[in-house]
Amino acid sequence: MKVKNLKTLHMTNPLGIDVNPYFSWMIESPEQNVMQTAYQIVVKHECGTAVWDTGIIQSDASSFIEYAGDPLVSRSRYEWTVKVWDNKGNAESASAGFETALLVKSDWKAKWAESALPSAERKVGFGNQPPATMFRKGFLLKGKVLNARLYATCHGIYRLTVNGERPDAREFAPENTVYEKYLCYQTYDVTAMLRQGENALGMYVGDGWYCGANTKPPIEDFKQLHAILFQLEVEYADGSTDTILSDEDVKTAYGPVLFSDIYNGEKYDANLEVEGWNKPGFDDTKWAKADIAGYGYQNLVAQLGQPVRPIITLAPTKIYTSPKGEKIVDFGQVIAGRIRMHVQAPKGTEVTLDLFEAPDKEGNYFNNVTLLDFSGKLGDQKDVYISSGDECDFEPMFTFHGFRYARITGVENLETKDFAAVVLSSEKDNAGTFESSNAMLNRLYENTRWSQRSNMLSIPTDCPQREKAGWTGDIEIYAPTALLNEDVTPFLSRWLTNLSCEQGENGAVPMIVPYVGVYPALGKSMDAACGNAEIQDICGIAGWSDAAVLVPYAMYQITGNEAILRQQYESMKRWCEYIIHTAKTQRGKNKNVPEEIDQYLWNTGFHFGEWLVPSRVKTGNSDMQKMIASALQESEYIAPIFGWQTISDMSEIACVLGKPEDEKYYAEIAAKMKDAIHKGVMDKDGKMPVDMMGAYVLPIYFDLVPEQLKQHFADRLVKMIEDNGGCLDTGFLATPYILDALSKINRRDIAYKLLYQDKCPSWLYEVKQGATTIWESWFAFAPDGTPLTMSLNHYAFGCVDDWMFRTITGINKTMPGFKHIEIKPEPDSSLSYAKRTFTSEYGDIVSNWERKNGGFILKVVVPCNTTATVIMPNGEKYEVGSGTYSYACSL
Output 5 or 455, the one with its CB closest to ligand BGC.
455
Output 113 or 530, the one with its CB closest to ligand BGC.
530
What amino acid is encoded at 223 in this protein? Answer: K
> What is the rounded radius of gyration, in angstroms, for the C-alpha atoms of the chain?
28
Angle at 331 between CA 329 and CA 334, to 5 degrees: 120
By CB under 6 A, tell whether 546 contacts ligand BGC.
Answer: no
CA nearest 445: which of 433, 459, 437, 429? Answer: 433
CA–CA separation, 390 and 379 (whole Å) = 31
The single residue among 67, 263, 608, 842 that binds ligand BGC, judged by CB under 6 A, is 608
By CB under 6 A, tell whether 794 contacts ligand BGC.
Answer: yes
Cis? peptide before 761, omega within 30° of 0: yes
By CB under 6 A, tell whether 696 contacts ligand BGC.
Answer: no
Output 472 or 743, the one with its CB closest to ligand BGC.
472
Output 99 or 467, the one with its CB closest to ligand BGC.
467
Output 463 or 872, the one with its CB closest to ligand BGC.
463
Question: CB under 6 A: which stretch of 37-45, 251-259, 465-473, 822-830 binds ligand BGC?
Answer: 465-473
**By rule CB under 6 A, what string of x and - marks binding of each residue 849-878 to ligand BGC?**
------------------------------
Residues 6+ apart with CB under 8 A from 417: 342
Q: What DSSP string runs through 260-273?
A: EETTTEEEEEGGG-
Question: CB under 6 A: which stretch of 436-444, 466-474, 645-653, 857-865 binds ligand BGC?
Answer: 466-474
Output 211 or 790, the one with its CB closest to ligand BGC.
790
Output 432 or 787, the one with its CB closest to ligand BGC.
787
CA–CA separation, 793 and 632 (whole Å) = 26
HEC-encoded secondary structure of 341-372: EEECCCCCCEEEEEEECCCCCCCCCCCCCECC
Task: Give the number of other CB atoms < 10 A from CB of residue 410.
Answer: 16
Output 467 or 766, the one with its CB closest to ligand BGC.
467
Question: CB under 6 A: which stretch of 81-89, 299-307, 470-478, 632-640 binds ligand BGC?
Answer: 470-478
CA nearest 226: which of 123, 134, 124, 111? Answer: 134
3-state secondary structure of 588: coil
Residues 6+ apart with CB under 8 A from 49: none
Q: What are the beta bridge partners of residue 81?
A: 42, 95
CA atoms within 13 A on the CB side of 115: 27
The answer to whether 121 and 212 are in contact (CB under 8 A) is no
Smallest separation (angstroms) from ligand BGC to the CB of 158: 28
Angle between helices 800-807 and 748-756 (to 10 degrees): 130
Whose CB is nearest to ligand BGC?
462
Q: What are the beta bridge partners of residue 27?
A: 3
Output 471 or 701, the one with its CB closest to ligand BGC.
471
Smallest separation (angstroms) from ligand BGC to the CB of 473: 4
CA–CA separation, 163 and 286 (whole Å) = 20
Size of the site for ligand BGC (CB under 6 A): 9
Q: What letter would DSSP give residue 748? A: H
The single residue among 172, 185, 254, 471 that binds ligand BGC, judged by CB under 6 A, is 471
Output 422 or 508, the one with its CB closest to ligand BGC.
508
The single residue among 467, 562, 649, 766 that binds ligand BGC, judged by CB under 6 A, is 467
Question: CB under 6 A: which stretch of 471-479, 676-684, 707-715, 746-754 binds ligand BGC?
Answer: 471-479
Smallest separation (angstroms) from ligand BGC to the CB of 544: 7
Output 619 or 812, the one with its CB closest to ligand BGC.
619
Residue 190 to residues 487, 654, 687, Cα–Cα distance (Å): 27, 44, 66
Q: Where do the DSSP E strands lie in 282-349?
A: 288-289, 291-293, 300-302, 308-314, 318-321, 327-343
Smallest separation (angstroms) from ligand BGC to the CB of 611: 5
**By rule CB under 6 A, what string of x and - marks binding of each residue 433-462 to ligand BGC?**
-----------------------------x
The answer to whether 127 and 267 are in contact (CB under 8 A) is yes
Output 466 or 674, the one with its CB closest to ligand BGC.
466
Torsion over CA: 257, 261, 262, 266 (sign): negative
CA–CA separation, 606 and 627 (whole Å) = 13
Output 575 or 608, the one with its CB closest to ligand BGC.
608
Sites for ligand BGC among residues 128-167 (CB under 6 A): none
By CB under 6 A, tell whether 778 contacts ligand BGC.
Answer: no
The single residue among 307, 473, 731, 736 that binds ligand BGC, judged by CB under 6 A, is 473
Smallest separation (angstroms) from ligand BGC to the CB of 526: 10
Question: CB under 6 A: which stretch of 468-476, 651-659, 707-715, 723-731 binds ligand BGC?
Answer: 468-476
The single residue among 132, 463, 714, 821 that binds ligand BGC, judged by CB under 6 A, is 463
The single residue among 269, 380, 427, 474 that binds ligand BGC, judged by CB under 6 A, is 474
The answer to whether 298 and 339 are in contact (CB under 8 A) is no
Smallest separation (angstroms) from ligand BGC to the CB of 638: 12
Residue 248 to residues 204, 229, 285, 310, 337, Cα–Cα distance (Å): 17, 11, 13, 34, 36
The single residue among 611, 752, 765, 803 that binds ligand BGC, judged by CB under 6 A, is 611
Count the residues in the chain: 891
Output 209 or 471, the one with its CB closest to ligand BGC.
471
CA–CA separation, 203 and 245 (whole Å) = 13
Binding site for ligand BGC (CB under 6 A): 462-463, 467, 471, 473-474, 608, 611, 794
